Structure 1
Amino acid sequence: MELSTAPGDAVAVLAARLEAAVLGLPPKDGVGVFGGMYLQVTEAVGRRLGEDGYFRGPAEVARLSTLFAERFLDALAAPLPPACWRPLLALRRHPGILPVQFALSGMNSHIEHDLPLAVVDSCLSLGCAPEALAPDFHRINDLLAAVEDRIREELAPLPQDLDVADPLLHLLGSWSIDAARDAAWVSARMLWDLRARPDAYAAAAAALDRSTGMVSRCLLTPLGEMSRQRPA
């Protein structure tokens, strides 16, 4: 994306690419579940880009959004995707995994791993430090929180009599988008500080990839049958 491209137009193109990537996937396909949610977030960002004053740097937001999404799209096409994406791609059609688990696992992989790298890529492309992107990075949190709440309600409507020890309730309470984005910002700052040391940067990025993948796999623990087999 060139900075001369209107930010809203750039994100509209991005939304079309995401839609094409998940178009036609079966309703219960884990990639489709996450991709559909991600498309909603991207469209929300695009709408806000059309509002004067919502983002401090609309062009920078569009650049970050594009580089961010490309990591997910590249993972879908890669012969050997990053470790953080392998659990979702390998288990995307597992019948015992609930749709909300696919959504949370995808968000974890994308936010905890792809986002820090996309921030660094954006800063290198724009010729700025992460602090220049910080206000809009945190502004997006409000959009993501609203979408996450809606997605949880749509994908995992919980019965009122759900036991506090139910595995699904435990899983839903174990992951937070706010905490994930806070961690992503810390990781981005760390990677930025390591940018002049290629070996250290590569090692840190690889460790982040592996650790993110472990959490994503845990979020995909099959619960479909377990959550329905509650005592009478």
Structure 2
Amino acid sequence: MTQDATAVAAEKVLVVVGGLTARVMRYEAARDPRAAFAYTYFRLTSDLAASLRTNALAFRTPEWVADLSVSLAAAYFTAMDAIDSWLGPGPRSPGEVRSADMPESIPRPWRDVYAASTVRHSYVLEEVLFSMMAHMSYDLPLALRALARAGHGELRNHIADFHRMNDLLAVSVDVVQDEISARYCRRLHALDRLFTRDDELFTSYGIRVARGMAWFNCDRLLDPQATAEAKGSISRSTAAFIAEFRSPDDWRRRQALRVLRAVVPSRRQWPPPGTPVEASLRSV
């Protein structure tokens, strides 16, 4: 693969990084709980841009990798814009919102995530995990399907590059978790213990499993006989994840979490105005 191809791919992804930078700044200024995931997404996408620029992972088709990043981000931006449109201008109400209160113009998984973020004692780690679930279980299979339909060749021809992206995310996730802790919640690692066994999605293994399921669900979406069932499944999966996370089947764990939520404050913090978002781009 030529250096020109990797440079063009990196530039495409940097456009996405710029859009995510703007989201982080906007959400932080408004003290919007969506900031933590926007920052997570920004950092992971920054690492992808850097990897494409150097071709460190030797992607076979970097243009496909970049196009997937663009398609995936477009789904996220569209969902966030729909939430912003529903919220309207001006200060946001601090009250609790139900998913059913939100319009269908917002994809159901993102309604579920936003509603979950408005409840009392919602934690930064939860907001990142729930958003990652919506993005990987819903946005990703749809983005993969969009590329398959857009004439980018057979999906199976890109599985090696898809796996290389898994490797990159696996390497990045631990560092990103430390940065989120420093930026939004210095007690994040303590909360990690509170949510023991529930936060596997925010690990190398969890990301690989979630992205593998997205690939499988894309195959289902591309099969006319399985499309309807697949759409229903990916639409419901985030709500099911949130419900199991906050109210596990095991009654002892459920009771323990209820008590801990009552006594452990969320301890959310916000970076001082003017804190740079772009600092991690210096290596790109």
Q: Same fold (TM over 0.5)?
A: yes
SS in 1 for 2:14: helix
In the TM superposition, residue 208 of structure 1 has moved relative to its aligned partner by 1.5
Kept in 1, the 8 Å contact 2:9–2:63? The answer is: yes
* Structure 1, 150-159 or 46-55: larger mean CA deviation: 150-159
CA RMSD in angstroms comes to: 3.2
2:133 to 92, 105, 108: 108
SS in 2 for 1:171: coil
User: Does residue 185 of the first structure (1) align with residue 212 of the second (2)?
Assistant: yes
Q: What residue number does 1:9 align with?
A: 11
Q: What residue number does 2:51 align with?
A: 48
In the TM superposition, residue 109 of structure 1 has moved relative to its aligned partner by 1.0
Q: What residue number does 1:85 align with?
A: 110
Kept in 1, the 8 Å contact 2:148–2:154? The answer is: yes
Change (3 A) 1:147 1:100: farther
- Counterpart CA distance in 2 for 1:206 and 1:187 is 14
In the TM superposition, residue 75 of structure 1 has moved relative to its aligned partner by 0.9
Aligned residue identity for 1:37: T
SS in 1 for 2:196: helix
SS in 2 for 1:85: helix
**How many residues of Structure 1 are paired with residues of Structure 2 in the alignment?**
222
Kept in 1, the 8 Å contact 2:125–2:188? The answer is: no
* Structure 1, 38-47 or 48-57: larger mean CA deviation: 48-57
User: Does residue 158 of the first structure (1) align with residue 189 of the second (2)?
Assistant: yes
TM-score (norm 1): 0.80
Structure 1 residue runs without a partner (length 5+): none
Structure 2 residue runs without a partner (length 5+): 83-102, 182-186, 248-257, 266-284
Kept in 2, the 8 Å contact 1:15–1:39? The answer is: yes
- Counterpart CA distance in 1 for 2:117 and 2:147 is 30
In the TM superposition, residue 126 of structure 1 has moved relative to its aligned partner by 3.5
Higher relative contact order (Cα pairs below 8 Å, separated by 6+ residues): 1
Q: What residue number does 1:37 align with?
A: 40
SS in 2 for 1:23: helix
Aligned residue identity for 1:185: G
User: Does residue 207 of the first structure (1) align with residue 238 of the second (2)?
Assistant: no
Change (3 A) 1:24 1:127: closer
Kept in 1, the 8 Å contact 2:13–2:45? The answer is: yes
Kept in 1, the 8 Å contact 2:113–2:238? The answer is: no
- Counterpart CA distance in 2 for 1:174 and 1:189 is 17
User: Does residue 61 of the first structure (1) align with residue 65 of the second (2)?
Assistant: yes
In the TM superposition, residue 184 of structure 1 has moved relative to its aligned partner by 3.6
* Structure 1, 58-67 or 121-130: larger mean CA deviation: 121-130
TM-score (norm 2): 0.66
In the TM superposition, residue 53 of structure 1 has moved relative to its aligned partner by 5.6
